[in-house]
Amino acid sequence: MTGGSPVDVLVVGGGPVGLGCALYAARHGLTVQVLEPRSGPVDKACGEGLMPGGVAALAELGVEPDGHAFRGIRYLGPTASAVADFRAGTGLGVRRTELHDRLSAQVARAGVEVLPLALDGLDQHADRVEVRTRGHHGTAGATLAARNVLAADGLHSPTRRLLRLDHPVGGRPRFGQRQHFRVAPWSDHVDVLWGARAEAYVTPVADDVVGVAVLSDHRAPLSEHLTGFRPLLERLARCEAVSAVAGAGPLRQRSRRRVAGRVLLVGDAAGYVDALTGEGISLGLAQARAAVAAVVAGRPSQYERGWVAATWRCSLLTGALRQSTRPRLVRRALVPAAAAAPWVFSAAVNELGRAA
């Protein structure tokens, strides 16, 4: 049984991209509902650095979270370092809980209902999609009807799996972990430290808190990874940890397509390359805008092109950088190469910075 007439857009997932979809859709006067089973300010393993393009996209949606601004990206290796400042705007380090709070408040102001339900299945019809849901403790929820579904249900998207759109990926899987520490930020850049087997990046997220994220294809506890970054470890040893370690992965995910009938995959659900370049949220917001534009035009299939236009540059750069993490020699040469060719490094950072 479905309850009532279909809404224009049902968003699956109330992460930053899902809530961004809801705001873009509401701005176009569409009727919107969001499904998000997790309650309270939703946290997630994330480096929490918003690129200038993402900061601008949020501001356009009326969302201006508190955080700590950063000027650009600094790469630090054992023998060399390279710095690139953003040419336009600043980035913002922002706790996911703060971002979620601010987006949720704006979604509520837009009159969008967020239902505490998870998508459990779906059936596509010529004029609508019927979505089966489940509530807390796995109890069956209502079946909802929508003219279009925007699935922003994350890296391991249940919607992508249901639609059999998962595409196998090669290479060694990489994983990410993060934790927060109470300490005044010591850099006005996001610092990316290149170790022998992992990359650690430090993002200022408040005047007295930094987030430390570690990425690697070697699975080990965060504390073990940090032993590969002596100076950072020594600094953190004197600081109080203010969050539990959270992890995510495998990071690389691919989808065969972004559109299946009236269902559009957005954000991490549409595919993900790596967290190394920290543009996931900004890119996701650009996808949200493109997906809503396709729905408003009445041509969901148009989103495939919009998705490619929004993502190809960043995917190429992130993919190339991800490749460089593997061969030892290339890995060791990366920071010295960035230091030797600062204009190339700056061009890459600014390309990523304008995502969204």
Ligand X SMILES: Cc1cc2nc3c(=O)[nH]c(=O)nc-3n(C[C@H](O)[C@H](O)[C@H](O)COP(=O)(O)OP(=O)(O)OC[C@H]3O[C@@H](n4cnc5c(N)ncnc54)[C@H](O)[C@@H]3O)c2cc1C
Binding track, positions 54-93, relative to ligand X; x by CB under 6 A? ----------------------------------------
How far apart CA 351 and CA 123 sit, in angstroms, is 39
Contacts with ligand X in 115-134 (CB under 6 A)?
118-119
CA-to-CA dists, residue 82 to 72, 134, 242, 338, 344, angstroms: 11, 49, 30, 6, 11
Decide: is 94 part of the binding site for ligand X (CB under 6 A). Answer: no
Scanning 104-112, 147-155, 236-244, 293-301 for contacts with ligand X by CB under 6 A, the matching segment is: 147-155
Decide: is 46 part of the binding site for ligand X (CB under 6 A). Answer: yes
Scanning 121-129, 150-158, 291-299, 337-345 for contacts with ligand X by CB under 6 A, the matching segment is: 150-158
Query: In residues, how long is the chain?
Result: 356
280, 300, 306, 353: residue in contact with ligand X (rule CB under 6 A): 280
Scanning 108-116, 219-227, 281-289, 326-334 for contacts with ligand X by CB under 6 A, the matching segment is: 281-289
Residue number with CB closer to ligand X (42 or 144): 42
Q: Name the one residue in this structure whose structure tokens are 């176009």.
A: 28
Q: Give me the least distance between CB of 79 and ligand X, in Å please.
A: 25
3-state secondary structure of 298: coil
185, 195, 204, 278: residue in contact with ligand X (rule CB under 6 A): 278
How far apart CA 176 and CA 294 sit, in angstroms, is 33
Q: Give me the least distance between CB of 104 and ligand X, in Å please.
A: 11
Contacts with ligand X in 221-250 (CB under 6 A)?
248
Q: Give me the least distance between CB of 293 and ligand X, in Å please.
A: 18
* Contacts of 161-167 spanning 24+ positions with Cβ under 8 A: 162/119, 162/121, 162/122, 163/260, 163/263, 165/255, 165/256, 165/257, 165/260, 165/265, 166/253, 166/254, 166/255, 166/256, 167/254, 167/255, 167/256, 167/271
**Packed helices 342-353 and 328-340: angle between N→C axes, nearest 10 degrees:** 100
User: Cβ atoms within 10 A of the Cβ of 138, count?
Assistant: 9
Residue number with CB closer to ligand X (83 or 352): 352
Q: Give me the least distance between CB of 43 and ligand X, in Å please.
A: 9
176, 195, 271, 353: residue in contact with ligand X (rule CB under 6 A): 176
Decide: is 49 part of the binding site for ligand X (CB under 6 A). Answer: yes
6, 65, 72, 154: residue in contact with ligand X (rule CB under 6 A): 154
Residue number with CB closer to ligand X (70 or 345): 70
38, 132, 197, 332: residue in contact with ligand X (rule CB under 6 A): 38
DSSP state letter for 353: H
How far apart CA 91 and CA 224 sit, in angstroms, is 29
Strands of the sheet with 91-93, listed across from one edge: 49-50, 91-93, 68-70
Residue among 44, 61, 72, 227 nearest 153 (CA):
44
37, 52, 185, 204: residue in contact with ligand X (rule CB under 6 A): 37
Q: Give me the least distance between CB of 218 and ligand X, in Å please.
A: 15
CA quadruple 229, 249, 244, 215: dihedral, nearest 10:
10
52, 185, 195, 267: residue in contact with ligand X (rule CB under 6 A): 267
Residues of this chain that interact with ligand X (CB under 6 A) are: 12-18, 35-38, 42, 44-50, 118-119, 152-155, 158, 176, 178, 213, 248, 251, 267-269, 275, 278-282, 284
